[in-house]
Structure 1
Amino acid sequence: MRQNGTIKFFNHSRGFGFITPDSGSKDVFVHITALERSGLQAPDEGTKVSFEIEEDRRGRGPQAVNIQLA
């Protein structure tokens, strides 16, 4: 299910950050590789995005995928 949110934090040097969903649910992890797969550069904090959530294959919890600028 597609959700909307805002980039809360993104560490450009380490390549990860978090998205705050508009629904008010828990922040979602986002990795630079998910952004690259979506054709996006590392976003600035406050950028509005839409995304889907999937479980990390390594068992680290939910993460954002299929990210688009909103």
Structure 2
Amino acid sequence: MARSQETGGKKDKEKKKAKHRQDKLERKEERKANNSKGKSLEDMLAYIDEDGNITSTPPDPNKKREFNPEDIQLGVPKAVDEPIDPIRKGVVKFFNESKGYGFIIDQQTQESIFVHINQLSTPIKEKDKVSYEVERGPKGLNAVQVKKIS
């Protein structure tokens, strides 16, 4: 008598494949039964309540508020230029004579302000106290009319 060609491993694999096919068929039938195609527009709409949460019920018309479209600000607010004191005082933090530029630390704001050699009325070096005026440049504040004070 000849032995069967099917072994235990083959039978198990065939059973798993058959079970998988059956599960797949059941899932397909379930999807057909719960098909969402053909729903009305009202069933697909979602609403946002006054707290910003998504709900399926429309908002109460009595709670409706009117807004002026010009009052709604989109994006980042524009920077407001604060009035700048014309003459400021500070200390030279860094100055490179060969390159012709440096930085001054403002006494009030502790802000670093760029200074170019063309804006100096007297020669300066590091740790000198200076008075200056500020003007807005392309990369930030620039010191102009810089004078060394004693």
TM-score normalised by structure 2 residue count: 0.41
What is the Cα deviation at residue 25 of structure 1?
Answer: 3.3
Match of 1:64? 143
The answer for unaligned runs of 5 or more in structure 2 is 1-85
Letter in structure 1 aligned against 2:147: Q
Letter in structure 1 aligned against 2:119: A
Whose radius of gyration is greater, 1 or 2?
Answer: 2
Match of 1:45? 126
Distance 2:147 2:97 in 1: 18
CA RMSD of aligned residues (A): 1.1
Partner SS for 1:10:
strand
Deviations 1:23-70 (A, max 9, x none): 1331100000111xx2x12x11000000010022xx122100111122
Letter in structure 2 aligned against 1:20: I
Distance 1:61 1:52 in 2: 14
Q: How many residues align?
A: 64
Structure 1: 4+ residue segments shifted above 3 A: none
User: Could you tell me which of 34, 40, 54 is aligned with 2:135?
Assistant: 54
Select the structure that is richer in helix.
Answer: 2
Distance 1:63 1:47 in 2: 17
Letter in structure 2 aligned against 1:14: K
Partner SS for 1:46:
coil
- Identify which of structures 1 and 2 has the higher relative contact order when contacts are C-alpha pairs closer than 8 Å and 6+ apart: 1
Select the structure that is richer in strand.
Answer: 1
User: Could you tell me which of 10, 14, 23 is aligned with 2:108?
Assistant: 23
The answer for unaligned runs of 5 or more in structure 1 is none
